[in-house]
Structure 1
Amino acid sequence: MTTSLDALLAALYVFIDDHVAPCRRIGRPPKLSDAELLCLAVAQVLLGFPSARHWIRFAHARLGHLFRYLPQQSAYNKRLNAAGPLISQVIAALARQVPTWHDNLRLIDSTPLPCAASRESTKHSELAGHAGYGYCRSHSRFFWGFRLYLLTTAEGMPISWCLANPKLGERQMIVALLERAHHLIRTGQVILADKGFTGRRFETFLAEHLGVHLVRPDRKDEPVRHGRLAHVRQWIEAVFDTLKGQLSLEQHGARTPAGVFARVGQRLLALASAIWHNWTTDAKIKRSLIAYDH
């Protein structure tokens, strides 16, 4: 197999068409199938088009050889915003195909997801009541939006994820995420997290009720247990850096809860597809997107 965007999209289309059940609809089937829609969405973020308007114009001019039908912007946005559950289903299916699915190590962390910059936007946005104000420690600034909680394999393959109001406690959201994704984790697995997830009762709950072991860097005010773990902690930070720097996570442009969920899922699906295809083609660096961004 060759490592290129065309090869990735062809392989992804076949995988979705063969292994993932399509959405049930009443009436005539759409001209653009669910598999084609997700391939089009993956190509959008891999080629660096945060704007749907610019992307559809480019697709009509350059990608006609890959898709038998290309929708207009409004139809594309409507279909993509409704595809959040299907995107999550495909990500979970892809994760099961990579060898690291069987490893005992999982990475988990959260990152800010800004959704508006002005005070007027926060008042009139459809996200009001869902999003909220939070603080980004890495940039020492406040933001309005969500926090993205992400569970991955060691090389960054997304397994499960969720969006939450930044005011909600991080340990509370980790428990909720792992409980919801209990069928995607196995008893005895190790969850590597940040030192912000400190709490003896929290760790005991994960071990006794979910059967997983939480490993995190030691704090300065507690006895030595696991050390600083600086090297392995950079793995999840590198995943977020890929999502923000190469897959335009913070430029999602969504204005509704369903839209934000789908647009974040779109970025995660692009990352999962690239990692899955890199394993298939035996690429040296599994999270590399260089072969697919042009």
Structure 2
Amino acid sequence: MFIDDHVLPCQGGRRIGRPPRLTDAELLCLAVAQALLDFPSARHWIRFVHARLSHLFRYLPQQSGYNKRLNAAGPLISQVIEALARQVPTWHDDLRLIDSTPLPCAASRETVKRSGLAGHAGYGYCRSHSRFFWGFRLYLLTTAEGMPVTWCLANPKLGEREVMTALLERDHRLVRNGRVILADKGFAGKGFEAFLTDCLGVHLVRPDRKNEPVRHGRLARSRQWIEAVFDTLRGQLSLEQHGGRTPAGVFARTGQRLLALAAAIWHNWTTGAKTKRSLIAYDH
């Protein structure tokens, strides 16, 4: 109902051709349920849906049809995430969190050589977990309780500040003048801070480096907020088991996890749940 009322009418125009037997809203309902119920494998999920949930849908696709529809739904998923974010009270708060996390896409050299992601993904190193990986980095802007606002995927060889600058420049309408952006030490840099201050009118707060004058301190407790969001995505929503094999597939399946998180937070606000990012009521 939310997608039909708040997102699809804004797209305008009528889809050319015969209406699909599985609507976009039903497709995203299946995608969110797959992530919340922890079915990383589309094959296992479609088998479960046909066996247990067929009475809830007029039509259910097979695995290939589901994958094709989901791969093509990346832009729609991003629109729904933003629409959900606009509905929660923290949308109007003056605090935003930014950070990035690895998104591995292959674990062997042979897979890397044969992957359809060649030329898009790359090798990177995650200092937080002391490991190398091949894939992308997920860059995320959230509200204080972890509601995704905007996001993107980038080659890990690209600098964090450069990618985040491009993301915020593209979606500058989502960053209101006067807001505070909380980041980690990886976003330290005069150029990045000048961009935020002069171009967007926001104030960057990050932990102090050892060679800098004391400004904000270590901010250890506050910095755990965004780390907790990534931990939820990796642990409860199986972010690193996305199964994407093409750029569109990785984008859509990453968005699928973010949409599941956004839907849970939105529903927790709607129902008055005490912990807004809790998924306990949805993952079983």
Q: Taking structure 2 as the reference length, what is the TM-score of the superposition?
A: 0.97
Determine the structure 2 residue equivalent to 1:116. 106
User: Any unmatched runs of 5+ in structure 2?
Assistant: none
In the alignment, the residues of structure 1 paired with residue 174 and residue 82 of structure 2 have an alpha-carbon distance, to the nearest angstrom, of 8
Determine the structure 2 residue equivalent to 1:228. 218
Give the AA of the match of 1:125. Answer: S
Bigger mean CA offset, 124-133 vs 192-201: 192-201
The offset of 1:181, in angstroms, is 1.2
In the alignment, the residues of structure 2 paired with residue 177 and residue 65 of structure 1 have an alpha-carbon distance, to the nearest angstrom, of 42
Matches for 1:176-195 after TM superposition, within 5 Å: 176-195=166-185
Given the alignment, which residue of 244, 247, 266 partners 2:234?
A: 244
2:18 equivalent to 1:31: no
Determine the structure 2 residue equivalent to 1:139. 129
Determine the structure 2 residue equivalent to 1:149. 139
Which string of whole-angstrom CA distances, capped at 9 and with x for unpartnered residues, describes residues 106-161 of structure 1?
Answer: 00000000000111111111100000000011221110000000000000000000
Give the AA of the match of 2:129. Answer: H
In the alignment, the residues of structure 2 paired with residue 51 and residue 124 of structure 1 have an alpha-carbon distance, to the nearest angstrom, of 20
Question: SS of the residue aligned with 1:32?
Answer: coil
In the alignment, the residues of structure 2 paired with residue 174 and residue 265 of structure 1 have an alpha-carbon distance, to the nearest angstrom, of 18
Which string of whole-angstrom CA distances, capped at 9 and with x for unpartnered residues, describes residues 54-99 of structure 1?
Answer: 0000001111232221111000000000000000000000000000
Question: SS of the residue aligned with 1:123?
Answer: helix
Give the AA of the match of 1:126. Answer: G
Question: SS of the residue aligned with 2:44?
Answer: helix
Question: SS of the residue aligned with 1:156?
Answer: coil
Bigger mean CA offset, 61-70 vs 90-99: 61-70
Determine the structure 1 residue equivalent to 2:88. 98
Determine the structure 2 residue equivalent to 1:161. 151
Bigger mean CA offset, 132-141 vs 99-108: 132-141
Determine the structure 1 residue equivalent to 2:33. 43
Given the alignment, which residue of 151, 164, 174 partners 1:174?
A: 164
> Which consecutive aligned stretches of 4+ in structure 1 deviate over 4 angstroms post-superposition?
none
Bigger mean CA offset, 18-27 vs 265-274: 18-27
Give the AA of the match of 1:238. Answer: A
Question: SS of the residue aligned with 2:258?
Answer: helix
The offset of 1:21, in angstroms, is 1.6
The offset of 1:204, in angstroms, is 1.2
In the alignment, the residues of structure 2 paired with residue 66 and residue 267 of structure 1 have an alpha-carbon distance, to the nearest angstrom, of 22
In the alignment, the residues of structure 1 paired with residue 211 and residue 76 of structure 2 have an alpha-carbon distance, to the nearest angstrom, of 45
Identical columns (%): 85
In the alignment, the residues of structure 1 paired with residue 130 and residue 191 of structure 2 have an alpha-carbon distance, to the nearest angstrom, of 29
The alignment of Structure 1 onto Structure 2 pairs a total of residues equal to 281
The offset of 1:281, in angstroms, is 0.1
2:70 equivalent to 1:80: yes
2:273 equivalent to 1:286: no
Determine the structure 1 residue equivalent to 2:117. 127
Which string of whole-angstrom CA distances, capped at 9 and with x for unpartnered residues, describes residues 250-294 of structure 1?
Answer: 000010000000000000000000000000000000000000111
Determine the structure 2 residue equivalent to 1:61. 51
Question: SS of the residue aligned with 2:54?
Answer: coil
User: Any unmatched runs of 5+ in structure 1?
Assistant: 1-13
In the alignment, the residues of structure 1 paired with residue 193 and residue 251 of structure 2 have an alpha-carbon distance, to the nearest angstrom, of 29
In the alignment, the residues of structure 1 paired with residue 274 and residue 54 of structure 2 have an alpha-carbon distance, to the nearest angstrom, of 31
Determine the structure 1 residue equivalent to 2:6. 19
Give the AA of the match of 1:15. Answer: F
Determine the structure 2 residue equivalent to 1:206. 196
